[in-house]
Amino acid sequence: MTSMSDVLHHPCTGPAVWQGPSLAGSQEWILRLSPAQIDELEAALRAVRERGIPLLKVTARDFPLPTLARELERLADMLENGRGFVLVKRIPVERYSQAAASAVFWGLGQHLGVPVSQNAAGHMLGHARDTDRTMTAPSTRGYQTREPLPFHTDGSDVLGLLCLRAARSGARLSLVSSAAVYNAVLARRPDLVERLYRTQFLDRREEHGPGERPYHAVPLAAWYEGKLSLRYNRCYLESAQRFSDVPRLEPADVELFDLIDELAASPDLRLDIDFGAGDVLLVNNHAVLHSRTAYEDFADPALKRHVLRLWLALRQGRVLPPDFWGDLHSTGGGSGRGGIAPRDVIAPSDLVDIGGSRRQE
């Protein structure tokens, strides 16, 4: 397909269009780390520690992976030009302190892309865990709760997750091909497809800077340079309605959102992921929607679910329309490829908390 007219009338094709059941028994999207590859990770970790490099200053050159680096290049290409997701099994996180596991994850991320800020505090290495907050508070983000997270995308090229500890129960992760959902919308309700390309309004959840709008005005879908990119977060679309200057959602918008939710959660399309301690999940947000079920946690704080999170800009990522991320100045990593712009200026002495690692301005 070469034009907007094509994508409005014909289904997408290619490796990014997949159905979960057809992949459930496959190993093609899984990389199982060999003992030699784990040895490389640990050797790189020792090199960083011996040189005393602060976490956020570690680059791919500082974290040498003689053979694994080539495999990570292949994974980056798979994320952008293949199915759009990869599961890496399994980093032996039980051997490491939280600081060591964070350094390993950060080092891997440096070989895949450029980290961008995940919130207005400038955190470059995030922590998904329950904070007893709920989504009823306008400043709460889903990763801070135990609540179910319906299918959605995050604000970067790639989402990376490293599981340090799994929940007592629940927290099942699922993925679905954005292009497969798009094709299903086209097949069932072709009258709604064009609406994906209209301007919609996404709540910024109190993470906008002074003088900025508290929401982004963006299309949900973009067809650009031969690739479909889809963004979707119904919670943010609906919570943006609290602003008086945001146009009201039309009945057809709600029909579209209902259909996307139904299709994404369908067992005919979705893929459920076995995501345990030491696993790394990498997801291209332009090509794949992800979800998480609610979970029950352990009472002991030392056993509670804890997942490290990276938002990455791919070095060889797709070309995106100039207005794709909303306000052009609202980018968190200097790459112009997503992220949330930090509101403050961080001094080097502040970069000491692995629990909320922040960028240096």
CB atoms within 10 A of CB 148: 15
Model confidence pLDDT, tens digit, residues 264-276: 999 999 999 999 9
Return the structure tokens found at 44: 């790189």
> Is 4-358 CATH 3.60.130.10?
yes
Please give the single-letter amino acid code of residue 283.
Answer: V
Answer whether residue 353 shows pLDDT above 60: no
Give the mean model confidence (pLDDT) for residues 181-208. 96
- Write out the DSSP string of 198-214: SEEEEE-TT-PPTTS-S
Higher-confidence residue of 303 and 361: namely 303
**How many Å apart are CA 346 and CA 361, to the nearest integer?**
6
| Integer CA distances (angstroms), 62 to 66, 113, 137, 210, 348, in order | 12, 15, 40, 36, 19
The DSSP symbol for 156 reads B
**How many Å apart are CA 264 and CA 127, to the nearest integer?**
26
**How many Å apart are CA 225 and CA 324, to the nearest integer?**
13
Q: Residue ranges of the domains in the chain?
A: 4-358
Q: What percent of the chain clears pLDDT 70, i.e. is strictly above it?
A: 92
Phi–psi pair at 12, nearest 5 degrees: -70, 155
Question: pLDDT tier at 326 (50, 70, 90 boundaries)?
Answer: confident
**How many Å apart are CA 286 and CA 231, to the nearest integer?**
6
Question: pLDDT tier at 287 (50, 70, 90 boundaries)?
Answer: very high
**How many Å apart are CA 174 and CA 201, to the nearest integer?**
25
Q: Mean pLDDT check: name the lowest of 4-13, 93-102, 211-220, 252-261.
A: 4-13
The predicted model scores a pTM of 0.92
Model confidence pLDDT, tens digit, residues 59-118: 999 999 999 999 999 999 999 999 999 999 999 999 999 999 999 999 999 999 999 999
> Residue 281's pLDDT is what?
98
> Residue 80's pLDDT is what?
98
Q: Which helix (H) or strand (E) holds 169?
A: strand 169-170
